[in-house]
Amino acid sequence: MRHILVTGGCGFIGSNFIRHELATYPELSILNIDKLTYAGNPKNLADLAGDSRYAFAHGDICDRKFLTSLLQPGGIDAVVHFAAESHVDRSILDSGPFVQTNIVGTQVLLDCCRLHGVPRYVQVSTDEVYGSLGDDGMFTEETPLAPNSPYSASKTAADLLVRAYFHTFGFPAVTTRCSNNYGPYQFPEKLIPLFISNALQNQPLPVYGTGLNVRDWIYVLDHCRGIDAALRRGRAGEVYNFGGNCELTNLDLTYALLEALDKPRSLIKYVADRPGHDHRYAIDATKAKRELEWEPKVLFRQGLKQTVDWYLANQSWVGSIRSGEYRSYYEQQYGRK
């Protein structure tokens, strides 16, 4: 495998994946296509400027002509599909862009890949397609799909399209589903970077409801290693779950961040709960360990320290985003002076 096309590679996970792949495989070249919406930031890959193995094309995965111009037969060995609208809160405000990018965009991409004989395709999805867990149990690849937000519904629809293309056309696709990611270059409307930024400015940290909703957290480079394993060793038509073995309530996560930043718990501000807020996510990654020889390596405390240190060292990156047109859902709902 020498030539990979990545969609949405200027986003959080995509940019970390591109950097990981180029560092791991010296013979590899990557073409990154990104629409550069609010969360697609070319600065995420500024360190690759001048690297002849990396190329960028600005475009929309819904644009069939654009994709066709890039997917020439024999030119691409694999496509890894990250491009998506990904924030639950934004989908609650307006689901339209999620339907267009996550569903229609995936359908157009699948058609173009099939037409041009792309030999390998990875659909990067989310554990949110499974819905919500009670206090017990874990998501496996056999858990029925039961999305509860417009975002997760759009990702579920995309996953089902991928499944249908495999069963109908024999399309060589693999799907991955992962728990909550954290790490460098995450867009500042997501919980961890938002709370770091607010705490540094002694602004309130808005915690939904009671703060007792549970998420499984995985360091982004562990996730990237999992995607790479699925790309190279996953069986076509299969789904692989990746989790961090780290379940935390949102409140406990907030406590950990405040402790890491030496900030008081008095900054916590409880706000009205998110509509349809899933209670708990937890991933069983036994299949990935068995078939792909993958398991998470980064312990949460270690990963959180690395994440906090990165944001402290890259305040100019955060500032450049906050000074633009970006306004997070939290800011729209609760204000930020």
Range of the domain at 202: 183-215+246-279+298-334
289 is a domain residue: no
Residue 169, pLDDT > 70, answer yes
- Report, as an integer, the average pLDDT of 6-35: 97
174 in Cβ contact with 240 (< 8 Å): yes
288 is a domain residue: no
**268 and 165 in one domain?**
no
- Report, as an integer, the average pLDDT of 213-219: 97
291 is a domain residue: no
Residue 76, pLDDT > 90, answer yes
**149 and 114 in one domain?**
yes
For residue 208, the domain's CATH number is 3.90.25.10
C-alpha span between 319 and 9 (Å, rounded): 21
**257 and 166 in one domain?**
no
Residue 299, pLDDT > 50, answer yes
Total domains present in the chain = 2
More confident residue, 11 or 323: 11
**154 and 267 in one domain?**
no
- What per-residue confidence (pLDDT) applies to 82? 98
**163 and 84 in one domain?**
yes
Other beta carbons less than 10 A from residue 53's beta carbon = 16
Query: In this predicted model, what pLDDT tens digit does every residue of 103-123 receive, in sequence order?
Result: 999 999 999 999 999 999 999
Q: Mean pLDDT score of the chain, rounded to an integer?
A: 93
The band of 66, judged by pLDDT with boundaries at 50, 70 and 90, is very high
Looking at the annotation, which residues are catalytic? 127-128, 151
The band of 323, judged by pLDDT with boundaries at 50, 70 and 90, is low
**224 and 108 in one domain?**
yes
Contacts of 84 by beta carbon, 8 Å cutoff, 6+ apart = 8, 101, 102, 105, 124, 154, 155, 158
